[in-house]
Structure 1
């Protein structure tokens, strides 16, 4: 035996204190350049671009969740020898940031129009600097192994160049056009809103039935927005509705306004709903707009950009839309035009998710659009052909449901923060689109379009604009297409579809990513959606401050199943913290005993050595298979239970016995070192800080960040050794359970005789059994007071114990009574089957023999248990 190696725990404090080391470790990684990608490397590339967080405030628990999942993939690939690029950045979030800055200005008693466009944009850049800095710091706290040298922003110079190039190309190809269409309008922001910025809520309103026309030329219509009747240009009925056949093609008087409107026949109308007649306001309702187009109806707008009535020539001009709703209803009532009112009437109303969350106003407006037809088809075909994989596959129908039914995309916003539309208008009606390398027209009468582009336009270019497109760059050549996109299923349409459309279009059919790995939404521990109003939101920084970043990351990974929502509570993070402490203590113990992966594995390993090395190999294979399938939760579970239940609870305890034996001590040190080295590397992608501290102390290596991913670790599973260890575990567990039932204190050693241990194949583990359940060898004249039989794969072991003064006779009698009842039940079932001649004749011989064996075992058990009961003292 070699001399015992000196303890090597000096570099590790007694407890893991993440707050004291995380920042320093992260800074060291950055200074060492571990996260910086080299496009000239000959390693296989692996690239992920971050779903850019909005520069609105700070990152929330959903960001922590997503960043953890991405970092797990990136760190593993880096260890596997890939040239990894995780490209960081932020989104300018045009309408969201615009609303927040407007709110800040309002608190100061001013607004953007008072400041002017230039000053407002300057103020917004100041906002970005403040909150963008907070976001970047949080990403460091999360442990994101991003390449900070390549940080991007959707309004930086490179992104702006890409936006201009894409707009110009689409425009020249006829895929961008300007037209009057129905849009979601925010009177507060005075801008179009995208669908993602509209939340539909059930609200209580009133359904008012109105009488149009007079006598035989009258019709009743119903509406929840009475004020819009000022813009009606028709009443529509179904072509087959005989009640209105005489009115179709004729005109009736529109109350209050005094003009005549048509009655048209349109199949959109449901004749069974209400009166079967609907008012048509083409400029203020999407369905009415389509009816108006089909029948070539006038489309007068009766509201301005602030939501005030205008252009009707009535007393209601100048009123806010909600005030007008009341006043118009009162005026109609005064004329006897209100037939009925239904209050309350619950219906779905779209609300802005920005600003004051007002009801949005459907409005006909002149806007810029992308013709998505050919782009969306390409995006659908890319998934259908297998060019791009959606994971989990069960979400593919959702993808096709969106891209196969996509409407043209309104890309203009009436804001000042964002990419300004690169179109100039001349004094004689000229329209010029300007690309990135072109000079805009100048001279008197020329002016640029006032609108900016929808945020999703620039973020749709993210996978290739960040790599240098439209220019040819080493990064674009090396890292496009990116390897995988990790994002939530909730933005599959709004962001992912746009990236797919633009990537395939701009990169000549090459997809922006090979795989779309979708995750769910983080929810509270009860499964409820997190929201400020519900009071169940979580600040990830608070959990990191309390438990450490690794605990947060492990807890998040442990609830991350592909495509499904992830409920989490503080208990999850506490459990993860405890797990980290368990690993910390186990590694400190191993170091104190001289464990090292540099030692050669034993030529003649013990059963415990063979078992744990076999389990290590199985765990490594499971982890690889699971991570390739984005099964984060199952990966975390495998690592958790191997670490806690097998390594710490069993092998470390058995190692304490082996370390006291000169014949097995060196081999045990080697196995402990080997297993911990591999385990720390397997855990590193999820728990980077803890594993870095432990791995460096264990191995003396530079950093686990750049350590090779475990491949040929452990050893093939040896069934015989594994079975003996499983028998050993069962024996120890049963004796421990018996001691607990008998209320024998854990600290008390008990004299015992183990009968059948050698025959069961566990003779070599006698010392381990004695040590782990605190048994002493029996003295001369030993008289057992309690007996326990444990049936094992290798045979039964009788444990005879002298628990004088400790045994709970009543508890032992009850336990044996339960065992006797079970044996009698088993005997009864066997007797019944063997007493049935038909069964004995027809059943296979091996089945009958098996039942006879069970019958004999049950008889023996009954005899043994009965004798034991008789031997118990009376009290």
Structure 2
């Protein structure tokens, strides 16, 4: 027996935790490898163990969950691989902050003890975001959960590092990197956040050597780096400076001789068109320095202070040095001027310190040979971006790819498997070593650096499935079906996974890359702590339920585009959940005498055999059939927002507002058993299958309702996805029903226009053009009576005269008349309209006064004047409509 009674009010808190536990306890998120089934797999973009669920996570994981639930119901062998990232710098900072509360630093503990503390922290706090994902309803295979520092992933990381080293694709070198003086480590590009800041452009004169009184002016935003200049560059096409190319300049305050070089990179229009070159402190200067074989002079140290080589400025903070140096330049007559200048400044993502480009010895990956096959995989269509426009973004970056700095000067992470011996040997090995294979010495030391976090996450699609072992999971689920991620990490994660997958698995890592945008606030601003405009998804879940949040995030969402978060949309989604709940409760109340699926299906068989489906039945079944097709197609095309919209429209408007209302008369008619059982069947059939369509979007409420309906199986999440049934489609029924619905809406509008009281019936006269429509209306007048409060209804022949003193509407070959005599209080309605007319006259006079005021017109912005004129036009239209209505009322 199915329990049919559900509470009068939907309470998400009462059901969400219960059903999630049920799904987990019954192992419904886990699929064993089944090579007899078609696979569908997704790997989760692993959130940081330090992470807290934010709206970006909520959107990303809701989209993944929709796709995995959809394919699971379609019978695929599914895997949604979950896991977390060790987040090297972020986690180390967290633990160091915790230790600092006790007055301890990591150096006090030493590396080994500190790593133990990090693991302790991870065990205590590292699964917080996993619990939060569960509260969202994420149906990941938690039995297979991975961590980028677990034994299997660590083995994969070492194998990849050593293999690339052996191929000559990993090397050590002195190159420029993003350096955080606070974290004291190199950073990847994604760990640097660029923010436009007000600054200055300093114009400085460099004397031309041997030419008394001749100077070359350069402009710079970082005058403290002048001390490390090794050249000044100009564009070879710039005729202003062509006579100086090959000559030398005297470096201000330093006195060192530096050359003037020609390079096409120089923008003639920026600043003075002459650029100071500091190869050790600017990435573009570094590359130019390599082209022109310039020396690299380091003048800023790792902690952001000035180096010993800077003389009187040595030991100063870089910004203190800037002030002192600018003052000295001014005193010595080298400073020309200072302009205000807005420019992008890179900040460490973790501690917000301004990063410093520095040359240092690091480990790098040579990217070009890895990039070429990854470009081909996308160009050939083996990997497809959704939407397709992001293909260009990806290709542009890959075409200009730079070598990747993979070493980090921290302790938490995958330690670089390289050892150094006193004999000068560098040994890179798959297993830890204690003896130098070159000289036999035991005096060897492992590199103290760890790998960039993105190195291990770049292996995620195959390392999580057991590679380098050839596991059953790898054979079945790799390559994965789709990667769902934001456009902001296409370069830093997506591209690297493609390169690593092709290099080590010789296959693409995924077939589709489904890109979504950012979740912004209602004003379109990026959510941030500094603006205080962030919205906690857990707060939304606690107040409104996970289903409401999920549906809010997916409706109106289009692939690749940012979306705005409105609380009004949260309310709309919650109202939708309540609408579904109340409609389902009504259906359940009317299925009290039916407790078996077989019994309801027998009703359906009987209805088909006896051809007893009404027009409303045939219409809703046809609309449901089309909804199945359209929702399925949109899910397959990753148009999840459109699929959600279609379901919303079908459930709210067609099923709840129209069909249930039309079915009520038969449900309440106990004498006509056939009509009642047919209505019961259609209500159940459409609701039960629509719940399945909606389940991927709103898993909790659909499971709750489905469990109360007559059903087969133990959970909706493993129930069969509704099949497309062409036999349900009935274009004629849809056209006929649409005409009746349009007539009902027209009558409702006429009643509203003249304020007919809700409880008062309206006389309606229908003049139908065709014989076919006459038959349709004659057979279905009950719908018009009950849903338009129309009684009596008279049907006129096409040849009959037009009724007088009646409101008129025309819809699809049907003329509708609503006589007003006796319908409304003419005197009362006339008073109301005159009052409204007086208000409009007053507003029009106010606007006319404004627009005739010369002072207002002269000072007001054009858009304000346009707005006032638009208001006047709108009020004049209303005025005319009311005047026409008053004339009409006077004739009654």
Q: CA separation of 1:426/1:739 partners in 2, compared to 1, >3 Å: closer, same or farther?
A: same
Task: Using the TM superposition, name which of 692-701 and 373-382 deviates more.
Answer: 692-701
Contact 1:388 1:513 in 2 (8 A): yes
Residue 768 (structure 1) aligned to one of 777, 780, 783: 783
* Equivalent-residue separation in structure 2 for 1:506 and 1:704 (angstroms): 39
Matches within 5 A, 1:609-620: 609-620=617-628
Q: CA separation of 1:243/1:531 partners in 2, compared to 1, >3 Å: closer, same or farther?
A: closer
Q: Which residue matches 1:720?
A: 732
Q: Aligned pair 1:33/2:33, yes or no?
A: no
Tell me the CA shift for residue 588 of structure 1: 1.1
1:634-674 Cα offsets, whole Å, 9 max, x none, are 11110001101111111000000122341411101000010
Q: Which residue matches 2:180?
A: 186
RMSD across aligned positions (CA): 2.9
Task: Using the TM superposition, name which of 303-312 and 139-148 deviates more.
Answer: 303-312
* Equivalent-residue separation in structure 2 for 1:456 and 1:245 (angstroms): 45
Secondary structure, counterpart of 1:526 in structure 2: coil
Contact 2:435 2:441 in 1 (8 A): no
Residue 282 (structure 1) aligned to one of 276, 279, 282: 279
Residue 378 (structure 2) aligned to one of 373, 380, 383: 383
Q: What are structure 2's unaligned runs of at least 5 residues?
A: 795-802, 835-884
Task: Using the TM superposition, name which of 668-677 and 693-702 deviates more.
Answer: 693-702
Secondary structure, counterpart of 1:181 in structure 2: strand
* Equivalent-residue separation in structure 2 for 1:133 and 1:871 (angstroms): 72
Secondary structure, counterpart of 2:126 in structure 1: helix
Q: What are structure 1's unaligned runs of at least 5 residues?
A: 1-5, 816-867
Contact 1:252 1:260 in 2 (8 A): yes
Q: Which residue matches 2:859?
A: none
Tell me the CA shift for residue 472 of structure 1: 1.3
Secondary structure, counterpart of 2:337 in structure 1: strand
Q: Which residue matches 1:630?
A: 638
TM-score, normalised via structure 1 length: 0.87
Tell me the CA shift for residue 793 of structure 1: 3.7
Q: CA separation of 1:304/1:124 partners in 2, compared to 1, >3 Å: closer, same or farther?
A: same
Contact 1:610 1:715 in 2 (8 A): no
* Equivalent-residue separation in structure 2 for 1:15 and 1:343 (angstroms): 64
Q: Which residue matches 2:107?
A: 113
Q: CA separation of 1:351/1:874 partners in 2, compared to 1, >3 Å: closer, same or farther?
A: same
* Equivalent-residue separation in structure 2 for 1:810 and 1:87 (angstroms): 66
Tell me the CA shift for residue 19 of structure 1: 0.3
* Equivalent-residue separation in structure 2 for 1:777 and 1:296 (angstroms): 97
Contact 2:518 2:562 in 1 (8 A): yes
Secondary structure, counterpart of 1:204 in structure 2: strand
Residue 519 (structure 2) aligned to one of 509, 519, 522: 522
Q: Aligned pair 1:302/2:299, yes or no?
A: yes
Contact 1:57 1:131 in 2 (8 A): no
1:505-560 Cα offsets, whole Å, 9 max, x none, are 0002x100011111111111232211122221110011111111111111111032
* Equivalent-residue separation in structure 2 for 1:272 and 1:646 (angstroms): 62
Residue 162 (structure 2) aligned to one of 158, 164, 168: 168
Q: Which residue matches 1:222?
A: 219
* Equivalent-residue separation in structure 2 for 1:729 and 1:272 (angstroms): 66
1:342-387 Cα offsets, whole Å, 9 max, x none, are 14333333222221x2221111111111111111111110011111
Tell me the CA shift for residue 14 of structure 1: 1.0
Q: Which residue matches 1:694?
A: 705
Q: Which residue matches 2:446?
A: 448
Secondary structure, counterpart of 2:312 in structure 1: coil
Tell me the CA shift for residue 197 of structure 1: 1.9
Tell me the CA shift for residue 332 of structure 1: 3.4
Tell me the CA shift for residue 788 of structure 1: 4.7
Q: Which residue matches 1:261?
A: 258
Q: Which residue matches 1:850?
A: none
Give aligned pairs, total.
Answer: 810
Tell me the CA shift for residue 265 of structure 1: 4.2
Contact 1:519 1:561 in 2 (8 A): yes
Q: Aligned pair 1:136/2:130, yes or no?
A: yes
Q: Which residue matches 1:656?
A: 664
Q: Which residue matches 1:668?
A: 679
Q: Which residue matches 2:533?
A: 536
Q: Aligned pair 1:579/2:609, yes or no?
A: no
Contact 1:421 1:453 in 2 (8 A): yes
Matches within 5 A, 1:356-505: 357-435=352-430, 441=436, 443-505=441-503
TM-score, normalised via structure 2 length: 0.85
1:223-248 Cα offsets, whole Å, 9 max, x none, are 33222222223334455667766765
Q: CA separation of 1:812/1:737 partners in 2, compared to 1, >3 Å: closer, same or farther?
A: farther
Residue 81 (structure 1) aligned to one of 66, 75, 100: 75
